[in-house]
Amino acid sequence: MDAQVRAWLDQQDSLVADNIRRHGWHIEFVFGEEEDDETSFAYTVGMFGHGHPELLIFGVSPHTAAGVLNELGDRICSGGDLLAGTVLTLHAGSRRVVPEVVPNPGDIVFTANRHFRRADEASVPVLQLTWDDHKGLFPWEAGYSLPDWLQPRPGTFSA
């Protein structure tokens, strides 16, 4: 690894650690290229330190991702536990999400694994927050209106 990359990683590590110290977690956002059917996604770094899986969401703006992840992060840090398969209604808006276990977290949450010094094959656990479409339908329901690439099913995506 060259010195420039090492310096950038050191700055990133410091930013992540500082956000976790100040707020309880950090949010990592990764932009996709919509014209290439690549979805954007965001995930927390720090929930694992609270004894909970990290949270991951696909296909939403940075503003929406921050709102959802912060709301659910607050629930977790206030003693709540998000259980896979449970439908959750968000306070910020009328959207609903269902946490689902991600079987391949080491292929996605690189910053979380770097922060917790975990190898990809021994990744921190992750729950994907699958959200409903404008009709209130989830991807596994007939009539769901969004393209598959926008919100991939758990286990089908690698960063």
- Secondary structure, 3-state, 100-151: EECCCHHHCCHHHHHHCCCCHHHCCCEEEEEECCCCCCCCCCCCCCCCCCCC
Query: Which candidate, 109, 19, 120, places its Cα nearest to that of 56?
Result: 109
Average the pLDDT over each of 37-41, 43-47, 113-117 and give the range with the smallest value: 37-41
Separation between Cα atoms, residue 25 and residue 31, nearest integer Å: 20
pLDDT of residue 92: 65
CB 42, CB 27: distance < 8 Å? yes
Q: What is the pLDDT of residues 125-159, one digit of tens each?
A: 999 999 999 999 999 999 999 999 999 999 999 99
Query: Which candidate, 55, 51, 38, 39, places its Cα nearest to that of 101?
Result: 55
The encoded tokens of residue 138 equal 């989830």
Domain segments of the chain as ranges? 3-131
Across the range 73-82, mean pLDDT stands at 92
> pTM here?
0.92
Separation between Cα atoms, residue 155 and residue 18, nearest integer Å: 31
Kindly tell me if the per-residue pLDDT of 91 is higher than 90.
Answer: no
pLDDT of residue 149: 93
